[in-house]
Amino acid sequence: MMENIKEILKEVRSDADFNSSENFIEDELLDSLDIIKLISLIDNTFEISIEAEDIVPENFISINTINNLISKYLL
């Protein structure tokens, strides 16, 4: 799943270096349009539908937090 997330992030922003960032939001790697695209790609890839309550910055800080978020829906 981590690889899937990496690929999705690459599709959202091919020019950004997600590996060397410890906080995607604070480092401004993801702007408001990127978040929309990211959520839509996650929804499609994992066939889930992320709820508004979960669309908060803490869930999009790193590959790990995104992974935890998706896992919650896949249970």
Report how many residues bind other proteins under the rule CB under 8 A.
Answer: 19
35 part of the interface to other proteins, by CB under 8 A: yes
75 part of the interface to other proteins, by CB under 8 A: no
61 part of the interface to other proteins, by CB under 8 A: no
Taking each helix axis from N to C end, the angle separating 2-12 and 32-46, rounded to the nearest 10 degrees, works out to 140
Nearer to other proteins, 44 or 64 (CB): 44
Binding mask 1-20 for other proteins (x = CB under 8 A): --------------------
Task: State phi, psi for 62 to the nearest 5 degrees.
Answer: -150, 175
CA 67 from centroid of its chain's CA atoms: 8
Q: How many CB atoms lie within 10 A of CB 42?
A: 21
